[in-house]
């Protein structure tokens, strides 16, 4: 029986593309939101779920980061890199001069911001739940509109391609993560993602106690564990309190990584390992 993989739908999204690249033999299960994708895996409706986590132009996908921070059952099992080539899609026969609204996911709108400002300065950007959903919204709109999505989405829904490759940078790439109830076994070329924070015992704000973040990062640097990314998200408890997220080279079961993570536990108020998984190149 083929694996069932949930993804941010409907069909035609870049997340579906990532899902197919990850496992072309799997049955694909579209979901309306990233949270719904995770729910499908938790409940057993799907074996795994695919969600976008980072774009090379627009940075983090906050919905996915926030989900991982609070998630109790799921881990990151894999990552998938997908080159993003956006098209400007319209109802057949629509002229560029007629377009008043441009629908797409906020990430896609951001990735094409400069192009839209130069070519459609009078059009209003309108957020959609996904790039494929934006094509459906555009086709249903009574106002002359366009959508930013993939060529495949245009073919699926009967839209016309007005322009191709409208992303502001040619090398536009999105990283997706595969969510499952277990992460991946060691391969020898792995990545580990974690988050940690500091509580009132170390001061309400990171700046209240000098060196807190520096000392945590030092636990990895002293052991020659490379970091590929560090960022922060609001802890959502009070202004100025943050959760820090780091991607590290190595597997969580590597002896040196086990040692480093134990040392971080002593310095941070909490630490969570999102998972270890093979690196994509």
- Catalytic amino acids? 174, 176
Where does residue 109 fall: left (phi above 0), alpha (psi -120 to 50 degrees), or beta otherwise?
Answer: alpha
H-run or E-run covering 244: strand 242-249
Residues 6+ apart with CB under 8 A from 261: 194, 252, 271, 273
Q: How far apart are CA 268 and CA 206, in angstroms?
A: 11
**What is the DSSP-derived secondary structure letter of residue 39?**
H
Angle at 120 between CA 116 and CA 125, to 5 degrees: 65
Please give the structure tokens belonging to residue 204.
Answer: 């309400």
DSSP state, residue 25: T
Q: For residue 219, what are the contacts with CB-CB under 8 A and spacing of at least 6?
A: 260, 263, 264, 267
Round to whole Å and give the CA distance between 99 and 240: 42
């Amino acid at each position: 029986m083929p694996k069932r993989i949930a993804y941010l739908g409907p069909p035609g999204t870049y997340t579906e593309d990532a899902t197919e690249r990850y496992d072309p033999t799997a049955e694909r299960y579209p979901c309306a939101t990233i949270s719904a994708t995770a729910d499908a895996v938790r409940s057993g409706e799907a074996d795994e779920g695919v969600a976008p986590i980072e774009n090379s132009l627009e940075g983090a996908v906050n919905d996915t980061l926030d989900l991982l921070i609070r998630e109790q059952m799921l881990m990151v099992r894999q990552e998938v890199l997908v080159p993003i080539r956006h098209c400007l899609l319209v109802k057949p026969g629509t002229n560029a001069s007629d377009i008043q609204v441009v629908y797409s996911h906020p990430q896609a709108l951001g990735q094409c911001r400069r192009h839209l400002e130069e070519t459609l300065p009078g059009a209003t950007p309108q957020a959609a739940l996904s790039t494929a959903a934006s094509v459906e919204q555009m086709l249903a709109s009574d106002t002359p509109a366009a959508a930013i999505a993939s060529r495949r989405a245009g073919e699926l829904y009967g839209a016309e391609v007005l322009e191709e490759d409208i992303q502001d940078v040619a090398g536009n790439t999105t990283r997706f993560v595969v969510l499952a109830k277990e992460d991946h076994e060691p391969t020898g070329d792995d990545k580990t993602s974690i988050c940690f924070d500091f509580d009132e015992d170390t001061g309400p704000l990171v700046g209240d106690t000098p060196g807190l973040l520096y000392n945590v990062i030092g636990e990895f640097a002293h052991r020659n564990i490379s970091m590929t990314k560090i960022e922060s998200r609001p802890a959502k408890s009070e202004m100025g309190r943050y959760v820090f997220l780091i991607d590290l080279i190595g597997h969580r079961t590597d002896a040196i990584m086990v040692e480093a993570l134990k040392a971080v536990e002593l310095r941070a108020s909490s630490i969570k390992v999102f998972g270890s998984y093979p690196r994509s190149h």
